[in-house]
Each structure stands twice: as C-alpha cells, then as structure tokens.
Chain A
Amino acid sequence: MTDIPFLSLAIWIPILGGLLVLATGSDRNAPLARVLALAVSVAGFIVTIPLYTGFDASTSAMQFVELQSWIPRFNINYHLGVDGISVLFLLLNAFITIMVVMAGWQVIQERVAQYMAAFLIMSGLMNGIFSALDGVLFYVFFEASLIPLYLVIGIWGGANRVYAAIKFFLYTLFGSLLMLIALLYLFMESGGSFSILEWHKLPLAIEPQVLIFLAFLVAFGVKVPMWPVHTWLPDAHVEAPTGGSVVLAAIALKLGAYGFLRFSMPIVPDAAHQLAPVVIALSLIAVVYIGFVALVQTDMKKLVAYSSISHMGFVTLGFFMFNQLGIEGALVQMISHGFVSGAMFLCIGVLYDRVHSRQIADYGGVVHTMPKFAAFFMLFAMANSGLPATSGFVGEFMIVLGAVKYNFWVAFAAATTLILGAAYTLWMYKRVVFGKVANSHVAELEDINAREFAFLGILALCVLAMGLYPFPFTEVMHASVDELLRHVAVSKL
C-alpha cells in the first residue's frame, strides 16, 4: 500500500473543488461552473478507485487509516479508515455525484455555481461520514451534511419547498443531538476517548446500553428513515430538485443504516440483541404498511419515496437478524438501492423536465414518443421490484433467506415486498408508459438526448452487472461482516 491519503483526498477534493466552483460566482460563468463541477466530481471518483483496487478483502481490520490529532483538549482525532462495510459506499457516493452533476447540466439555469458546489461539498462530507473513526469527527460530518441538502431543497425545490426543507433539517437534527449525548457519555465512560474502535471494546452495563441504543435508534432511525419517523422523507423527496432526490435516496438514507452497523450493533451488542425484535417489528411495518401506502400514491416521486422507505425497512430487517446472509444481503441491498432509486428519480426527472408534472395521471403512452427512455425506465422499474438478474433481486433474496433462518413468519411477512414492490412499481410504470397517448404534452415529448442516455446507460449497466455477478461486491464485505458478527455475539456485560 502506498502512503497517499486516499480517504482524505476523497473527502477534501470534492469540498475544496466545491468551494472553487462556488467562487466562479454569478450565472454569467455558468458553463465554466458546470465543466469545473464535472471535472471535480470525476476527480473525486478517480481517487476512490484505489480504495477498491487496493483493498485487502482478507482482513476485517481498518484500512487506509489516517490518524492525526485534531482537538487534543478533548482527545478528538482526525481518524479515518475503511473496512469492508464502508468502502463500497465511498465509491457509490463519488459515482452518484457524477450522475447528479450530469443530471443538473441543463435543468438548472439559476445559480448554477451554488447548485453544483452544494452537491460537491455534500459528497465530500458524506465520504467523511463513511470513513470517520472518531465519534466527534463522524458527528461533525453527519451534521454538516445537512446544510447543503437543506439549501438544495430550499432553493431549487418545488412549491412547498420551505416546509420540506425545514422539516427535513429539524427531524434529522433532533435525532442526531440525542446521539451527541450518547457519544459524550461514551467519551466519559471510556475515560476520555472518542475513538469508535475503542468504544467497540468498552464494557457497559445493560442499562446504559439500552439508553445508548435508543439514542442511536432515534438518530439513525430518522435518517434511514424507519416507520414512524419517516414522514419527512416523502415531503423532502417531492420538493427536492432531481439531483437532491437522487442524493437523498442513493446516499443520505444509507448513512442511517451504516450508523447501525458502525455504532449501535458493535458498541452496545447486548442492547441490540435485546431490542432487535422491536427494530424487526418496525422494519416489517415499514416493509408491508409503507408498501401499501406506496400503492395508492398519485405522485411518481412520492411513490418512489415510499418505495425507498419500504426498501430501507428491508435493510434494517436484514441487520437485526444477526446472521451473515441478512447483513450482507442488507449491504448489497443498500448499494443496489443506491443505483436503482437514483435511477428511478433520474427517470422521473427526465419526464418532469419535459412536462413539469409528477402526477401519474398526467402521463400515459410515453412509450410512443420516448421509446429509448421507456426501455431504460422499464429496466429500473424491474430492478426496483426485485426482478432476478437485476441488482434489486440479489439483496432481497439474501435477506429473505436470512429471515427464513431467523423466523419463518418474519420471512413470510418480508417476502410480501416482492409482490407489493412489483405491484406499485409496475402499476405506475404501466400507467405512465403504456396505453394510448394521454394528452398533447405527451404527444410532444422528445426522447432522451445523448447526455441523458449516458447517465441512464451507465446506471443500467451497473444494475445489470450487480444483478448478474454480485461477487465483487460481496467479496469485499465478507471478512468485515464475519468479524462484526463474531464481535456482536460476545456479551459486553
């Protein structure tokens, strides 16, 4: 391994690049801002590639570790590192950022520099979240990433954007502040350390464990989001511009789920075991109930938003069964959902840019005017409903298998998602794409241009590749998930 600090590069290239883009200023320089943003996002992706190629899949230890004292007064360190659980998310994040920059290329005509800069800075901050090994560092990135998304929803969002932006911010802030108290408690208990890896080894009595678990549950549960604290998500998704929705679905939701694996389960394993039934129950409610809610939506973005909640319920379900298939399936599902939900929102964005409506009822017969688009949309809709040979299938199948091991009825309830998911996605697809040409707007539609073809095409390749050959993904996470399960099985009491 070389000494190049790839993790720092992955964090700071997008942030500093974002500031550079911001410096291009007014919309007179918009073309420059776009090109610069694309260059920065590509550079940001390139520096994450060595993280995968140089990754040693045979060990569960943290890799690419960087450790530097940051605030010695409280023993806070700039401590970065990735393991098999987190490394893929950095790649996913950097990759999705390129898609977002491309998707906003023509659509965003106002305050272009600020728009691009917000996404780039957010991308850097999220890389920070996935690689931070210090509690405060994690928290700092976790909170700071709210700011750009708040601005993105509020500035470029739809009619009700202010409500959605503030609701999004306050919900997440509430959860994370409770987590802050838990972090401070752990700091005190561990005798003055904010190191997450130290906390993994810290013995704790059951009572504080339960309280800490609940604090984390609120923080990460809001972010995932789990039922019943999910209501901010549909609002945020509907009001956000396409790029915002993509990042929100593809990356931001994963932060909460990642938090469960990095914090809740290893730091307070006994509480996690004890309260697992609660989490599983909440997850099943999300899967089944939210699945039904998705069925009745008339707004395409809302439908996909609810489908995201349902899919993320599947992820938390996978985690808390404490078996290899469940956790790995959930991780695969997270990556796949990153591609698929991102692609779904991009597809809806393509339609919205042309017709300026998200209502299913305003469409019909799109296939007649946009055949290429309809093909892509078909593929992503299939992936969203978990069709074999798409990435959506792999994760869901693994989780259902894991659930059968855990409890038959849980598996039974979880498996309904395969039906529900297909129902709401394909029904929407049918109403939007098939049938007679519904109105003059649809009749005047132009098919996707080269730029749109490019990003949908790349995503389609990813979805298919991951569905047909998921081994490169599961291989990386194997050792780390093994170690996590071993660790969680040992009581800390």
Chain B
Amino acid sequence: MNFVVPDFYPAAAEIFVAVMALVIMLASTFARSIARGLAYFLTQATLIAAAFITIYTMQGEVTYTFSNLFVSDLMGDFLKLMIYFSMAVALLYGRGYLADRNIDKPEYYLLALLMTLGMMVMVTANHMLPLYIGLEMMSLALYTMVAFDRDSARSTEAAMKYFVLGALASGLLLYGMSMVYGATGTLEFEGIAQSVYQQVANETVLMFGLVFLVAGISFKLGVVPFHMWVPDVYQGAPTAVTLVIATAPKLAAFAMAVRLLIWGLFDLAEHWQTMLMFVAVGSIVLGNLAAIAQQNMKRMLAYSGISHMGFVVLGLLAGVVNGDGHFALNAYSSAMFYAVAYVIMSLASFGMIILLSRVGFEAENIDDFKGLNKRSPWFALMMMFVMFSMAGIPFFIGFFAKLSVLQAVVAAGYFWLAVVAVVMSVIGAFYYLRVVKVMYFDAPDDISPIQAPAELRVLLSANGLAIAALGLAPQMLMSLCAYALLASR
C-alpha cells in the first residue's frame, strides 16, 4: 500500500490558522502579564495573514486534496475572505466592550480563531465528514463564547439554550447525512450527485435524509421553523458575541447549504426547493411581524435577521424551474450577494449598540437610541444608513440585495412569492423607521457625549459609509459573487 502525501498547498490558510491558534494558546499562557493585548493582536494578525495566504494560494480552477475531502474553489476562497473580514471587524468592535466588562480574556480570542477555523473547514468541505467537523468546531466555540460572561445569568441561559438546540440540530443533520450515505453509498458530494443523477439511490431513504439535512441547514441559518433560538441567544449573549453570531456563521451556513443542496443534491432541487419555500415564506412573514413588537434592539435585529435569512433562502430556491437550471447561477449568486450584504449591515447595526454602551449600561433598548441626532449627528446618520439599507431603500446596498433576489424570484416565475416578500418588506420597514424616528424625532433622555475608542469610531464610520458606497456602486460585489460561483462549478 502506497502512502501518498497529500497536497497541502490549497489548505495553507487552514493550516496556518490552526497553528496560530496553538501559538496563541501557548503565548497567552507564558506571557500572562500582557496576555490579553497579545492574544487580541495575534488574532487580528492571524486573520489578516490568513487573508493574504488565501489570496496568494487562490487557484483559478477547482482543486481537490486530502483524498477529495477538501476542495479549493473560488466560492470557498471568496467566502473565506468575507469570513476573515467580518471576524476581524467583529473582534475590533467588541474589544472595548469586553474590556469594559472584564471578559476580554485570551481564551475569547482563541475561541474566535478556532471558530474561524471551523467555518473555513465548512466552507471548503467536499465531503460530509469535514463539513460536520467544521460545523461542530464552529458551534462549540460559539456556545462557549455566548457563555463567556459567566456571571451573567442571562448569558448562561442563552448559552444553554443555544447548546441544547444546536446539539439537536447537529443530530438532525448527522442523521440526514447518514441516510444520504445509506442511499448513495458515499459521503463525497460529487459521488452523491452522481448517484442521484443515475437514480441508483433509494428514493425514500434519500428523501428522508434530505428533510433532515434541510432542517439542519435551517437551524444554522436561523430560519423558521428552526428560529426559536435566535432572539433569545441574540439578546442573552454579550453584544460583542451577538455581533459574531449574527455575521460570519451566516456565511458559513450559506456555504453549507450550497455544498450540500446544490453541489450534492442538485438533482433533487424540485424537492428541496418546495421545502425551502415554506422556510422562506415563514421566515419573512414571522421575522417581520415579530420584529414589530420588540422593544429590545437586539431582539428586533434578531427577528430582522430571520427575515433577511428568509430572503437568502428565497434566492436559493429560485434556481431550478421545471427542471430547467438555466437561471440557477443567477439565483444562487443573488443569494450569496444578499448574505454578504446582510453581514456588512449586521456588523454595523450591532456595532452601533456597542458604540452606545458603556460600563454598566447596555444600550440594547430601542429607546436608548433616543435623540441620537442631538448627541451625535454623525453616528445617527450612520445608523440611519444601516436602517434604511436593511429596509431595502435605495441608495443603499440592502436595496440591491433585495433587487437581485427578487429579480431571481420573478425570473423563476414565483410572482406570489415576490408579492409576499415585498408586502412583508413594507411591514418590515415600519420597525426600521421606528428606529430612525427614535433617533431623529425624539428628544434624548441622556445627553452625555458618546465615549468610545477611536478605532471603533473610525471603523464604524467606514462601515456605514461602505453601506452607502456599495449601494452607489454595487456592481463589483455582485459580479464577484457571480464569478466565484461560476468558476466553482
């Protein structure tokens, strides 16, 4: 038997991040006095270096390695870059917040890095096993991060809830994977696709497996009917952690959906599209309606996140019409664009909550934004950009995200879906408008000027301006999404 040394080159970024995680662990043990700052800077440096490595090792064509467990393609590289970016921004936003509450321990950054590694593995998996390992790696790190403020009863409760439900979802996913394996005899996506295409797989078993897979994906995306954890966890977790949960993992979950459903089970598209239709409509309707009733900003953003993920799913389900996959690329790249746009908006929205929070005060109620225009016209403007962008009003990126998804839905002939989506968007606009109203029309209760570290102010401003700038010129990001998907197939 020959032992073949696998090609490590395509996986250089993953290996680098894994090594750096160990380095940080050791460094923070031995350099206790400066451990906090050191861990933070090393983590940021790792993310930046990983981005360079990913760009440097980027290959035009699809490359497999580790006996086809691992795939390097442009979609993976693009999503990895977005993940580094959003993790780096989220950690920067959260740093002052964690320090104020004395929970900026080196372990936090270590967990963040391990979580990043988990997401990277998910994004590049070409096989159910690494996909699942990556997912668990991400999730376990996240559960711990939610519970990181261990003296807070609410955080602990949220972490417990997240863990129990997350473990259940992982179980469902694993069960689905085992059924697909039973039906097709392989765990590799290419092989599954082959076997489904040749119709040698047992249809019933495959279908059962598919239902469980969709359930697992839905949980990780946080969409109806597996959305129950989202508001509680968003509210309970320290805001810095909420920021992490609400951003990069959505991209990883999106990649998981693409790998499993589109790479693996594309020929069952009719079936999973029907399931996703319920998921999408449920999310958009429930997310928008429930958000209206919220007084807590984090809960409101959680429900708004559910409805945004509903739009992503809407893009995923518009790919194949009557067996015709002609518009598939268009639809999937719209969904990807939406997910990326959502991450950019979500970063800014939770960043604003962190900006307004101080030691002993969480600016998590909508009323805490009262009169922000008087306190800080600049950040009120930025928050207004975020809110209008989320509501899908031009000239902001959120509008073009909605436009591209709706365009895919209309092209697929699902007019009623488009109508439901836009009607719910009008209802959704109400709660975003309410935030703008509170900031601009109401008098402030608290007129103290905003205190925040300079780097948070600068980056948050850049984030807000990016939402407007990408709205004026969305072409590049849109075509990047389309190109990344095109080159990966």
Contacts and interface: CB of A to CB of B under 8 A. Distances in A.
Contacts of A178: 419, 422
A415 B420 CA distance: 42
A114 B378 CA distance: 11
B429 interface: yes
A74 interface: yes
B461 to A, nearest CB: 14
A154 B407 contact: no
A140 B406 contact: no
Contacts of B436: 150-151, 154
Interface string B383-396: 00000100001110
Given A71-B478, A166-B430, A181-B418, A144 B410 contact: no
A72 B475 contact: yes
B314 to A, nearest CB: 13
A355 to B, nearest CB: 25
Nearest to B438: A162
A161 interface: yes
A170 B426 contact: yes
A177 B426 contact: yes
Interface string B408-433: 00110001001100110110011001
Nearest to B411: A188
A70 B475 contact: yes
Mostly, the A contact residues are helix
Given A143-B393, A147-B393, A25 B377 contact: yes
Given A73-B478, A143-B399, A184-B418, A150 B410 contact: no
A166 B436 CA distance: 10
Given A136-B403, A181-B422, A73 B475 contact: yes
Nearest to B483: A73
B403 A170 contact: no
B475 A140 contact: no
A188 B419 CA distance: 16
Contacts, number: 95
Contacts of A173: 393, 425-426, 429
A115 to B, nearest CB: 12
A174 interface: yes
Interface string A39-64: 00000000000000000000000000
A170 B418 contact: no
Nearest to B393: A143
A140 B473 CA distance: 13
Given A180-B406, A184-B407, A147 B388 contact: yes
Given A181-B415, A181-B422, A151 B440 contact: yes
A376 interface: no
Contact of A162 (B393, B395, B437, B475): B437
A187 B441 contact: no
A181 B441 contact: no
Contact of B474 (A71, A139, A162, A185): A71
Given A143-B394, A170-B429, A180 B422 contact: yes
Contacts of B430: 166, 170
Contacts of A151: 436, 440
B426 A154 contact: no
Nearest to A186: B410
Interface in B344-397: 373, 377, 388, 393-395
Contacts of B422: 177-178, 180-181
Interface string A120-150: 0000000000000000100111011011001
Contact of A161 (B388, B410, B411, B441): B441
A70 B403 CA distance: 15
A169 interface: yes
Contacts of A25: 377
A181 B406 contact: yes
Nearest to B418: A181
Contacts of B406: 180-181, 184
A144 B377 contact: no
Contacts of B429: 169-170, 173
Given A74-B404, A155-B441, A169 B433 contact: yes
B47 to A, nearest CB: 29
B193 interface: no
A165 B438 CA distance: 12
Interface in B288-312: none
B395 A140 contact: yes
Interface in B17-49: none
Contacts of A114: 373, 377
A166 B474 contact: no
Nearest to B388: A147
Contacts of A165: 437, 441
A155 B433 contact: no
Interface string B455-489: 00000000000000000001100110010000000
Given A74-B407, A185-B410, A162 B441 contact: yes
Contacts of A73: 404, 475, 478-479, 482
A181 B437 contact: no
A162 B441 CA distance: 7
A146 B393 contact: yes
A352 B384 CA distance: 31
Contacts of B479: 72-73
Nearest to B413: A188
A155 B403 CA distance: 30
B393 A180 contact: no
Nearest to B475: A71
Contacts of B474: 71
Contacts of A71: 400, 474-475, 478
A154 B437 contact: yes
Contacts of A185: 410, 415
Contacts of A180: 403, 406, 422
B377 A166 contact: no
A166 B429 CA distance: 10
B407 A187 contact: yes
B395 A181 contact: no
11 contacts: A71-B478, A73-B475, A73-B482, A74-B404, A74-B407, A114-B377, A140-B399, A143-B399, A174-B423, A177-B422, A177-B426
- A-B pairs, top 4 by smallest CB distance, nearest first, are A177-B422, A140-B394, A184-B410, A154-B441
Given A70-B475, A143-B393, A173-B429, 15 more contacts: A73-B404, A150-B433, A150-B436, A154-B437, A154-B440, A155-B441, A162-B437, A166-B434, A173-B393, A177-B426, A180-B403, A181-B422, A184-B406, A185-B415, A188-B407
